[in-house]
Amino acid sequence: MKHTPGPWRVEKSGYTQIACLVYAGDYPVLNTAVPPSSKEEWESNAKLIAAAPDLLEACKKALIHFDHLGLVGTNGIMEDLRQAIKKAEL
């Protein structure tokens, strides 16, 4: 299954509990609420989730580029990219 196309963005509410909506276009793809004590962690998680489609595409482009150059001995970077792509596309 393919993910909802990006761009994804984060919107926050002003309620006592911080609510996070991650949107893909006009559609919410994730809705979370957390206690204010973990606001910083919540915001970081929301930003990472919103960046996921862009990160996946960057990994794919980097792997294609490395393969095209015929690079070897990249200290496992190419395998890390393959595994990250595989994990995202399960």
Look at the pTM and tell me if it is higher than 0.85.
no
* pLDDT for 40: 76
Closest C-alpha to 67, from 77, 52, 53, 55: 77
Instruction: Give CA–CA dist 60/51, Å, rounded.
Output: 14
- Write down the pLDDT at residue 58: 95
Q: Which is more confidently placed, 67 or 84?
A: 84
* Domain boundaries, given as residue ranges, for the chain: 8-88
pLDDT digits (tens, 9 = 90+) for 16-74: 455 556 777 777 766 666 555 567 777 777 788 888 889 999 999 999 988 888 776 67
Q: Which amino acid is at 67?
A: D
Q: Which of 63, 57, 66, 61 is nearest to 88 (CA)?
A: 57
Residue 46 gets the label, from left (phi > 0), alpha (psi -120 to 50) or beta, of: alpha
DSSP H or E segment with residue 28: strand 27-34
Q: In what order do the strands lie in the sheet with 18-24?
A: 8-12, 18-24, 27-34
